[in-house]
Structure 1
Amino acid sequence: MLALIKMEFYQLVRNRLFYLMAGISIVFGALMSSGYIGDTNPFGVPMADGLSVFGGMVYDSTMWLIVIGAMSALMLGQSASDKTLALAVSAGHSRTSVYFCKALVFLLAVNIVMFFYPFAGLIVTGAAQGFDKGIIAEPFAQYLLRVTGMVFLANCAVFSVSILLMAVFQDAAKTTACAALAIILESFGMIFFLSRRMPPLWLPPYMARAAVFTPLNISQVILILTACLGFTALLLGAGYFVFRKREIK
């Protein structure tokens, strides 16, 4: 299994699309951060430091989910259609190992790219305005670690649909189109329910938004984490069921 993980990382670091996504995320994060200064955060307080801008950028990252979702699905679909999966299975690795190693590295990679965006904003704003002026009630490290951990799991719930579609189609174009459509529908669903003052905690894009709020009590944190893990397990489980039964192209 370790050999498979090394192979997946080797393919990742040689993939130009990964570097393109990372570069876009960093550049846009750095450029967009200045627009948050003076704007109100989700709690109605003006943002004036790196930590509050970080929270605001995470909260507003719905469109970023769609962009990175489409590009990462293309990257995943390409790896599924270039016979790498078939070669790994023919080399004696179990389908279980091949599938979950692919899923693990993909989810790590896409989360890294997603976090480049708000962390670039945090660094740029923090260097210019200060990192923590007390706008966020939680301590700096606690808020940063809590939001990062919860949003990581929320992103896994969002992007696991790409892994399911990769297992179903094993084709770059179909995986990309359907994954982008799925994330768009989830995002519009979130906007629809929010417009009716009904927080849709069952929708993965909203789980990331909910993680930004402070303070959150233990029951709220557990609810968000349970929803994230349940959604991820459902999609990865469905993808594994398909991958285990289907002929690999």
Structure 2
Amino acid sequence: MKEVKALINLLKTERYYFLHNRTYWWSVIMIFMLGFITAPAYRSEIFGPKEKIAENLTDILNGMVYDSTFLLIIVSCILALVLGQEFSWRTIQQEIAAGHSRLTVFISKIIVYLTAFNLLALVFPAAGCIRESIYFGIHDLIGFLSDFVRAAADSFLFNSPVLLIPIFLCFVLRNMPRAICAAALLTFVLSLYLGYGMMLDLPVRFLPSFQIRQVISGTEILTFGSLAVSLCWSTVLLLASWKTFRSCELK
């Protein structure tokens, strides 16, 4: 019970931190503007060039979630910036010095950062849908909200493993500039491999970003295989992050 209470207190502290973090909120504004400005491009190219023309607002939603691979590069860098600051500014060291166990601190970071940055990734399609609602209209609000919840769930399931990459890098490097550079490089390489891999028929099914494209585009339904990809990536990165954080020396 003591550990649970400590975790709840840490979660409240993290929530307060994000509610007052200017970097995070400027990022929300930036990604909202990006989604708002680029939304019209998805009317004729939902799932890439010459794939499908949008017929309703749900098509715009799916197209923008499908195309969120490039967005994850930006979001990963922002995550590395915010979490890296906690190491560079000794915030995490202070939490441990205050009596919180490393496990409690670790769990609170994982919960809050995955939630906050999955929501940040959803700002992009949400902004696009707001703009395109003027063009397409909303004829079935309940149906659209249901589609949005489904897309959000798919996004959380398959984007979380990607977001765990910068989290892992922050725990390993414990330095904001190096974590940002490493996160940008690694997510860019994975994105590049996905793009060329799909064109050249290279193995890409092991990538969570490929699985979300398959599910969102309707090419495949949510299967055990796609779930296994997400769970494997998440499990490996979580265990690696915890093992690193548990034994690292905090200066």
- Does the pair score TM above 0.5? yes
Q: Which amino acid aligns with 2:90?
A: K
What secondary structure, in the 3-state scheme, does the structure 2 residue paired with 1:248 have?
coil
1:39 to 42, 45, 52: 45
2:225 is the counterpart of 1:233: no
Residue 3 of structure 1, CA deviation:
0.5
Q: Name the counterpart of 1:29.
A: 35
d(CA) in 1 for partners of 2:246 and 2:174?
A: 13
2:8 is the counterpart of 1:2: yes
Contact 1:168/1:239 (8 A) holds in 2 = yes
2:151 is the counterpart of 1:147: yes
d(CA) in 2 for partners of 1:187 and 1:215?
A: 20
Where does structure 1 lack aligned partners over 5 or more consecutive residues?
134-138
From the superposition, tell whether residues 199 and 211 of structure 1 become closer, same or farther in structure 2 (CA, over 3 Å).
farther
d(CA) in 1 for partners of 2:120 and 2:177?
A: 21
d(CA) in 1 for partners of 2:70 and 2:172?
A: 25
Residue 212 of structure 1, CA deviation:
0.8
What secondary structure, in the 3-state scheme, does the structure 1 residue paired with 2:223 have?
helix
2:81 is the counterpart of 1:74: yes
Identity over aligned pairs, percent: 27
d(CA) in 1 for partners of 2:229 and 2:66?
A: 18
d(CA) in 1 for partners of 2:104 and 2:235?
A: 16
Contact 1:41/1:52 (8 A) holds in 2 = no
The Cα RMSD (Å) is: 2.0
TM norm structure 2: 0.89
Deviates more, 1:175-184 or 1:225-234: 225-234
Q: Name the counterpart of 1:63.
A: 70
Deviations 1:59-89 (A, max 9, x none): 1222211112112211110112211111111
From the superposition, tell whether residues 215 and 179 of structure 1 become closer, same or farther in structure 2 (CA, over 3 Å).
closer
2:161 is the counterpart of 1:157: yes
Q: Name the counterpart of 1:136.
A: none
Q: Name the counterpart of 2:4.
A: none
Contact 1:49/1:132 (8 A) holds in 2 = no
d(CA) in 2 for partners of 1:110 and 1:67?
A: 11
Contact 1:107/1:159 (8 A) holds in 2 = yes
Q: Which amino acid aligns with 2:249?
A: E
What secondary structure, in the 3-state scheme, does the structure 2 residue paired with 1:44 have?
coil
Deviations 1:120-145 (A, max 9, x none): 11122123212469xxxxx6455333
Q: Which amino acid aligns with 1:76?
A: L
Contact 2:87/2:174 (8 A) holds in 1 = yes
Contact 2:32/2:124 (8 A) holds in 1 = yes
d(CA) in 2 for partners of 1:44 and 1:143?
A: 20
d(CA) in 2 for partners of 1:2 and 1:31?
A: 39
1:50 to 57, 67, 70: 57
What secondary structure, in the 3-state scheme, does the structure 1 residue paired with 2:53 have?
coil
Q: Which amino acid aligns with 1:82?
A: W
Q: Where do 1:133-212 residues align within 5 Å? A: 140-198=144-202, 200-212=204-216
1:17 to 8, 11, 23: 23
From the superposition, tell whether residues 40 and 215 of structure 1 become closer, same or farther in structure 2 (CA, over 3 Å).
closer
Contact 2:35/2:127 (8 A) holds in 1 = yes
Residue 9 of structure 1, CA deviation:
1.3
Deviations 1:215-247 (A, max 9, x none): 644xx4332222112211211110100100011
Where does structure 2 lack aligned partners over 5 or more consecutive residues?
1-6
Contact 2:36/2:127 (8 A) holds in 1 = yes
d(CA) in 1 for partners of 2:84 and 2:215?
A: 30
What secondary structure, in the 3-state scheme, does the structure 2 residue paired with 1:201 have?
coil
